[in-house]
Chain A
Amino acid sequence: MNGCPEFQDRLVEQALGGEPAPDVAAHLAACHGCARAFEGLRERAAQMEAGLRALAAAEPPARLANRILAAIPRPGLPARLDWRIAIPALGLAAALIISAFNGAFNGAPRRQADVPREAAALAAWRSPTEFLLRSTIEPLLNDTPRLGRAAVTPGGDTNVH
């Protein structure tokens, strides 16, 4: 943009449709440089206005309305899964389950009263196949022989007592 510096802002105003001031009109009639600059500004302003309208002049695709309506949750149907919410929620649920599991098997304090009862139960426990290891002479083997007492009766049975 050329022309006299003191008139430039006023030429811009006038090119944008501002009220023509008498002193500007008189200057334009006398100054060839400003007159040429003003013509350039008016052309540029028209181009700018057309360009501004064109920036948003795009038409939406015909499918857009149906796409929006299809995305709206219908009554009775589950809303579309939002993974931005679902992933953290699943993570939180997994963390709660793991912490509950750890608490049940590791973290929960045991009552002292339970310990002797569990120990007694363990001591009384016998293998289901333990009877296979027993023999008819087992009582004899477990018995301590005493002096003057027969270990085996004449009938062949072991002398238990």
Chain B
Amino acid sequence: MGPEPDAAEFEQRVREFGRTVFQVAYSVLGNTADAEDVTQDAFLRAYRKYSSLRDPAKFGAWVARMSWRLAVNRHRSWRRAARRDWAWLASPNAMENPELDAAGREFELRLRNEIARLPEKLQAVLLLSGIEGLDAHSVAAILVIPEGTVRSRLHQARRRLLKALSE
């Protein structure tokens, strides 16, 4: 293991990528408290393992990938605890966004439930692609898959989701 990053440099990276890393976690978990915990955990891991990052230019995708994995693991533990329905129902920003009307909340719950029924590979590209500023190239870097795979999975996910929402 090499040296840890310079404190000022790391602080700059936290401020630069914190929002995206948080939104990656939020897209999976659907609530601010858990997304905050995961974001902090992801950055702490990034700090400890900084020396293993070969290309500093890929820091954003690297820490976003950590956030994604941590969030997915946390969500899986919810499912193992048979609390998935509670989590999906209680957590989305339907509960946190007072601007959503009743119809909007109902649609959001339905949307989350239909996404949860998709295979995980499709869920990943669908959720990450919904994050502002993440294009197919960025999503591919986070998931470590080819960009073309991101595009094909995204298309497949949107098609299946639209059919499910239209039934």
Contacts and interface: CB of A to CB of B under 8 A. Distances in A.
Interface of A: 1, 12-13, 15-16, 40-41, 44-45, 47-48, 51-61, 64-65, 67-69, 71-72, 74
Contact of A44 (B10, B93, B165): B165
Interface in B117-159: 126-127, 129-132, 155, 158-159
Given A1-B167, A55-B130, A58-B96, A64 B39 contact: yes
Contacts of A53: 130, 132
B23 A58 contact: yes
Contacts of A65: 11, 14-15, 18
A78 B73 CA distance: 29
9 contacts: A12-B162, A16-B159, A44-B165, A52-B130, A58-B96, A60-B18, A60-B39, A64-B36, A68-B14
Interface size class on chain B is 35 or more
Tell me what chain A mostly uses at the interface: helix, strand, loop, or mixed: helix
Q: What's the dominant secondary structure at chain B's contact region? A: helix
Contacts of B24: 56
B126 A52 contact: yes
B152 to A, nearest CB: 13
Contacts, number: 106
Contacts of A59: 19
B32 A61 contact: yes
Given A44-B162, A51-B108, A56 B36 contact: no
B150 to A, nearest CB: 15
B76 to A, nearest CB: 18
A71 B26 CA distance: 20
Interface in B96-129: 96-97, 107-108, 111-112, 126-127, 129
Nearest to A16: B158
B7 interface: yes
B44 interface: yes
B23 A68 contact: no
A58 B32 contact: yes
Given A12-B159, A58-B96, A72-B7, 17 more contacts: A1-B167, A16-B162, A41-B166, A45-B158, A47-B165, A55-B93, A55-B112, A55-B127, A57-B93, A59-B19, A60-B22, A60-B36, A64-B22, A64-B36, A65-B14, A68-B40, A74-B7
Given A44-B166, A72-B10, A55 B32 contact: no
B47 interface: yes
Contacts of A71: 40, 44
A15 B162 contact: yes
A56 B166 contact: no
B111 A48 contact: yes
Given A16-B158, A44-B166, A69 B130 contact: no
Q: Which 5 A-B pairs have the closest CB atoms?
A: A56-B27, A60-B22, A52-B130, A1-B166, A56-B131
B54 interface: no
B35 interface: yes
Contact of B111 (A55, A69, A72): A55
